Structure 1
Amino acid sequence: MPGFLSWISGLFSPNKTATLSAPESRLLNPVALPQDNAETNPALVDQLEEHLFCWLLDSSPTTLRAETGQWEHVLEKLRWRITHQELDELPRQPMALPMLMQALSDETSDRHRLTNIILNDPALTDQLLQIANSPYFRPGDQSIDSVDQAVFVLGLDGIRNVISAAIMRPMMAARNSREALFAQRVWRWGLTCARSAELIAKIQGQDASVYFMAGLLPALSYITLRRELQRICRAEPGMTEPPPSLIHDALSRYQWATSQLLANAWNLPPKYHAHLMAAERPAPKQKHTPLNDGIIVGTREVLRHAHQRNMPEEDVLRIIHLSGPQFTRVRKVILDVLEAGAKTRA
């Protein structure tokens, strides 16, 4: 199952020859951890990924494995659209994104310039204030009532992440009741993975805001792929909605390629492409990236909080590049925001 987490299985087969066939394959050959066990760890990762898909698609493992091979002609149509960059559902670049990216990367920018750019887009302003007051971002109990206050309270690093989430949130909102549960869970999973990647990047002294946005792209790719599949299926005789097994196959095959398409369509700086590629196809002797560990930790914690099957802590520590105390620090922050989010939804 070639998914976000299954890159780890390549850690334990250093002599394995990679097969490359665009766009879903990747090179599974990073450096293994000293304590890796070649027989048990790939199975652990496969299980965690299966638990994730069961939760996102609200289906049993048996349902996800059903009708294997029946949908290859549909998957081939999807692959062709991805390869030729002709996804009808690929979100267009948000209008304010280029100016925001420039302002955030300019060391001479002040908060007033950033505030003015945001205020020129009323829809972005509304989304930003909603996101800034969500449990994932708001520091303490104080309500954030204005964009200027958000920039001041959260700082440039914090507002970068809020902007990333505010830009993507409308694209991931459910369009109808059929995708409501999926969209809700994917958004929660994406935010949790992004926040985990951000926290791990801070621990490692890397650019945390870049990893936060990169961590959101996989979730947006899930929504994009599901909607594209729906378009394809509606044109198929006797089909109206893609079954869970087909959605599962599409997501696990094409999630990374679609994330790259999003980064390309939005003209994100090359470092975003590099981080996505490093996570998808880790090179030999490559340093482990926060994006990989962030997805593992975020997936485990969101499943655990949702009372789903997940992964024991001792197994998590065997496959991530964090010490026990570092993992505890990250997990505490993630657990706090998940708990606060649950109270808000209640």
Structure 2
Amino acid sequence: MSGILAWISGKLFSGRHAPPDTVSRKTPAPVPDSGTRGDTKDQGPLEKLEDHLYCWLLDTGPRQLNEPSDLTARVVREIESRLENNALEELPRQPLTLPTLMRTLGNESTTRKEVAGIILSDSALTNQVLSVANSPFFKVGDQPVETVEQAVFLLGLDGIRNVASASVMRPMLAARNSSEALFTQRVWRWGLTCSRASELIALTRHEESTSYFMVGLLPALSYLILRREVQRIFKRKFPDRTPSAHTYHEVMRTFQWQTARKVARAWHLPARYHALLLKNPGYPDPDAANSPLRDGIILGTREALRDAHQRNLGDDELRALLSLEPKQLEKVRHILVRLLSEGLGSR
């Protein structure tokens, strides 16, 4: 298993890690030729949780998820080649205002007026910020936020940093057509839940939290990028076929973290963002057992699935996976449950 939950746990990689922008040809992506990934009763809790996530995102069942396709290995090799050669066609360009926004928000001396000015300089970003600021996930109080200045005042600099990050990402995770509407709704919901969980956990540990929020959204974007790459491959090479759940599954679980690092590099995100993705200049950190990002993605995944009435983990299994004190866990869970129940997007 090489998916996002396995990566962040650092326990299922057996010491093998790919460089940040390549996938070694000496260790090709594992793709089963026949059978399934095994009986779920033999899986560990992280494997189960991740399979439950893919079933929900892809709107499929465990049998379809693990039923081999004769095209999966070929598609995986094509994605591998595209990553090695920086040839992903669906990798989004850096948002125009992102560099200035990241620099300004990362400066401790930044004023609220400066933040509002940058947001207002981009009409599309302005609209997104007001939309996100009024969502249940960020809204403060019962009154609608009608201006950027009001949003900055009510949310404060830390709050507006997260709203700005979500606002930059939201258009990229919007559906292009009806066929991907359900997937984009669910992956956005999952991404926001994981990023908010990571941020809240960082706050409980008195760590800088904004970078955890932004990085927590990157896996969601990488899933959509890879889904669209698969569709492009099928349209060109296998026009009479449609991708199976198994093909999507194998591509996403194998390449999502490499793709997330590609996005971070292409967007020139600040060094502290890269530090969460890299152990050193080139390798993911398998020993981050106490990372807010690790715990945030696990907890966010569990709560998003639980809210959507999907299979997930029991409380005892969840507590055993996290490095949170019981009071910390309950505090963060309480906030996530409230945000999800108040309508964090469509299920």
Q: How many residues align?
A: 329
Q: Residue in 1 aligned with 2:337? A: 335
Q: Residue in 2 aligned with 1:281? A: 284
**What runs of 5+ residues in structure 2 fail to find an aligned partner?**
28-40
- Matched to 2:115, the amino acid is L
- Matched to 1:18, the amino acid is R
CA distance in 2, matches of 1:338, 1:95: 31
CA distance in 2, matches of 1:155, 1:3: 35
- How much does 1:206 deviate? 1.0
CA distance in 2, matches of 1:261, 1:10: 20
Q: Residue in 1 aligned with 2:106? A: 105
For residues 70-124 of structure 1, what are the alpha-carbon distances to aligned partners after superposition, in whole Å with 9 as ceiling and x for unaligned? 4211111111111211111101000011111111122332111111111111110
Segment drifting more, 332-341 vs 111-120: 111-120
Q: Which of 291, 294, 298 in structure 2 is aligned with 1:292? A: 294
Please state if 1:218 is matched with 2:224. Answer: no
- Matched to 1:318, the amino acid is A
CA contact (8 A) 2:17 2:284 kept: no
Q: TM-score, normalised by structure 2?
A: 0.89
Where 2:290 maps in the other structure, the secondary structure is coil
Where 2:135 maps in the other structure, the secondary structure is coil
- How much does 1:213 deviate? 0.2
- How much does 1:12 deviate? 8.1
Q: 1:242-281 counterparts in 2 under 5 A?
A: 242-278=243-279, 281=284
CA distance in 2, matches of 1:12, 1:88: 30
CA contact (8 A) 1:161 1:213 kept: yes
Q: 1:73-88 counterparts in 2 under 5 A?
A: 73-88=74-89
- How much does 1:18 deviate? 3.0
- How much does 1:20 deviate? 4.8
CA distance in 2, matches of 1:287, 1:45: 14
Segment drifting more, 178-187 vs 82-91: 82-91
Q: Residue in 1 aligned with 2:38? A: none
- Matched to 2:98, the amino acid is L
CA contact (8 A) 1:230 1:240 kept: no
CA distance in 2, matches of 1:261, 1:189: 20
- Matched to 2:150, the amino acid is Q
- Matched to 2:65, the amino acid is L
- Matched to 2:285, the amino acid is P
Q: TM-score, normalised by structure 1?
A: 0.89
CA distance in 2, matches of 1:19, 1:150: 42
Where 1:199 maps in the other structure, the secondary structure is helix
**What runs of 5+ residues in structure 1 fail to find an aligned partner?**
26-39
Against the structure 1 CA distance between its residues 264 and 20, is the aligned structure 2 distance closer, same or farther, given a 3 Å change threshold? Answer: closer
Against the structure 1 CA distance between its residues 103 and 9, is the aligned structure 2 distance closer, same or farther, given a 3 Å change threshold? Answer: closer
Q: Which of 16, 19, 27 in structure 2 is aligned with 1:18? A: 16
CA contact (8 A) 2:69 2:244 kept: no
